[in-house]
Amino acid sequence: MDYTTMCPKYEAAVDVLGKKWTGLIIRVLLGGPKRFKDIKGQIADMSDKMLTDRMKELESQGIVKRTVFPEMPVRIEYELTEKGHNLQPVIESIQAWGENWM
């Protein structure tokens, strides 16, 4: 691998994953579909607005899928797409690195 120049695809990936809270949201959703309040419950220090913004970004990137269930009251769930699930080894590597070095 050539580390002397920056790869645009690597740069784009780091731009997405490097945003505060994004890795934590993906880690939570690796456990399966969740409602907004369940994600928020696992990442307590994040504001509702920040979670909303990050979910919109992840949805626009094709990493998260939002499903609206037409019930009363309306139920909305978020889950990882195939693209999102493919981040599992990345998240697990960060976890392993953190356990060894943090």
| Total Cβ atoms within 10 A of residue 36 | 15
pLDDT at 44: 86
d(CA 35, CA 83): 20
Residue 62 vs residues 13, 17, 19, 72, 102: alpha-carbon distances, Å: 13, 13, 16, 28, 31
Q: Taking residues 74-86, what's their average pLDDT? A: 97
Write the single-letter amino acid at 2: D
The pLDDT tens digits of the residues spanning 3-26 come to: 888 889 999 999 999 999 999 999
Q: Which domains does the chain have, with CATH numbers?
A: 8-101 (1.10.10.10)
The pTM for the full model equals 0.90
The pLDDT tens digits of the residues spanning 87-100 come to: 999 999 999 999 99
